[in-house]
Amino acid sequence: MLRSLFSAISGLRANQFMLDVTGNNIANANTAGFKASTVVFQDTLSQMLTAGAAPTAVHGGTNPIQVGLGVQVGGVSGNFGQGAAQATGKATNLMINGDGFFVVNRNGENLYTRAGAFDFDSAGNLVTSDGDIVQGYAAGANGAVNATGTPTNISIPDLATESAVNPMTSYKIGPDGVVTGSYQDGTSKPLFQIAVGNFANPSGLDKIGDTSFRASTNSGAVQFGAPGTGRRGVLQGGVIEMSNVDLASEFTNLIIAQRGFQATARVITTSDQVLEELVNLKR
């Protein structure tokens, strides 16, 4: 009888966990760059009551008799599918069309995000809304960009001053991530190329909040490169990637978790009633 009680308790915990994950997905349905998560359940150890036996010349084989001891959370799987594009018309709002992550630097540490709502600060740094500096590759004196190695801060001081001899008048960001500046004398030149990082196992990344991720031991090492190279997607300007949460699926999961919680709670109630009958046998 106690087995059913403890199995039901494990079911309550597991379904509560599923409710927590589903609630977080629904809460972030409108969060730019958010990636939904899915809970995976698995059974726990089973108690062996009778071991199986092999068939003999005079007797057939028998299967083992085992009783399960409940359920546990096997893992939380991240869904890194593409989110919908929301047009903003802002040149510094970017979306990766395909795989990969924007690389941003926070206090000397590289982090990774799909949220491309960027802007230039007063010093000419391309930053996120939290002030993390977007990383990329600087163009050489001949205007060529060597998109290899570890990227550096994207900083365009010409944006911060109009007192230069040849001030910058505008800029644009291409699908390949190249930031091109146009100047008052009519010339233009590449300045930076935005870097994109990719991982062998994106589901192994650690979520650290602010729709950012940190590399972990199971994500694999980050592979930097230019947009559109390797498995890295191209950039699309004037749009941002919205959450990939499917509300229809999440509300269905919400019902499943709720009913699962109610069913396991009923097992506890029924087990309690049976125990009560056993106690009353002495009357």
Report residue 11 as tokens.
């079911």
Confidence at residue 46, expressed as pLDDT on a 0 to 100 scale: 86
Confidence at residue 32, expressed as pLDDT on a 0 to 100 scale: 95
Residues 6+ apart with CB under 8 A from 283: none
Confidence at residue 1, expressed as pLDDT on a 0 to 100 scale: 59
Confidence at residue 85, expressed as pLDDT on a 0 to 100 scale: 95
Report residue 252 as tokens.
């269905």
Confidence at residue 193, expressed as pLDDT on a 0 to 100 scale: 95
Confidence at residue 119, expressed as pLDDT on a 0 to 100 scale: 93
pTM of the model: 0.86
Question: Residue 141 CA to chain centroid, in angstroms?
Answer: 38
How large is the greatest C-alpha to C-alpha distance in the chain, in angstroms? Answer: 103
Give residue-wise pLDDT tens across range 22-71: 999 999 999 999 999 999 999 988 888 899 999 988 889 989 999 989 99
**How does DSSP assign 161-214, residue by residue?**
-S-SSS-EEEEEE-TT-EEEEEETTS-EEEEEEE-EEE-S-GGGPEEEETTEEE
| Backbone φ, ψ for residue 233 (5° rounding) | -75, 170
The residue type found at 195 is A
Query: Which residue in the block uniquely carries the two structure tokens 């060529």?
Result: 144
Which ranges of the chain have pLDDT less than 70?
1, 283
